[in-house]
Amino acid sequence: MGYKKTIKTSGVSGSGNQDAFQSPMLTSTNYTVWAIRMKVLLNVHKFWDTIDPGATDNDKNNIAIALIYQSIWEATIMQVGNLESAKEIWNTIKTRNLGDDRVKEARLLTLMNEFDSMRMKETETIDEFVAKLSCTASKAASLGEMIKETKMVNKFLSSLP
């Protein structure tokens, strides 16, 4: 799993009143959770607008880039280091982790097949199984497919041992 780095932003214009926050590390398997956490962190410190819609304030852009760089591995930094805006870096990381439309479609199909074949194991608790279902629903949402609550409930009920 990834480790976390503490990033201090006190004294930075637009950083809010917080003195520090934990930055999640992006790994090969946690893009969806990483993106959610980074969006919240960038929002809290008033830097998300450099990504969406893509504000051009140079100081805010540089800080957003620095915060993103704190949460990615050196190899990824080398891949995006020539990009000049936080928005470009964010979109490149997103594309590399979610892929283009065909790849995204294939991942979604695989994920939905996994969802359909999920069964609660005798050794699993209800909370563990619900967490697996929720995780799958979150991954599907990140790929553009919302799993309806009724489908989740039906899956849960039909999957009990």
Query: What tens digit of pLDDT does each residue of 118-130 get?
Result: 999 999 999 999 9
**Mean pLDDT computed over 127-145:** 89
pLDDT digits (tens, 9 = 90+) for 43-90: 998 999 999 998 889 999 999 999 999 999 999 999 999 999 999 999
CB-side exposure of 14: number of CA atoms within 13 Å? Answer: 16
pTM: 0.59
DSSP states of 99-135: -SHHHHHHHHHHHHHHHHH----TT--HHHHHHHHHH
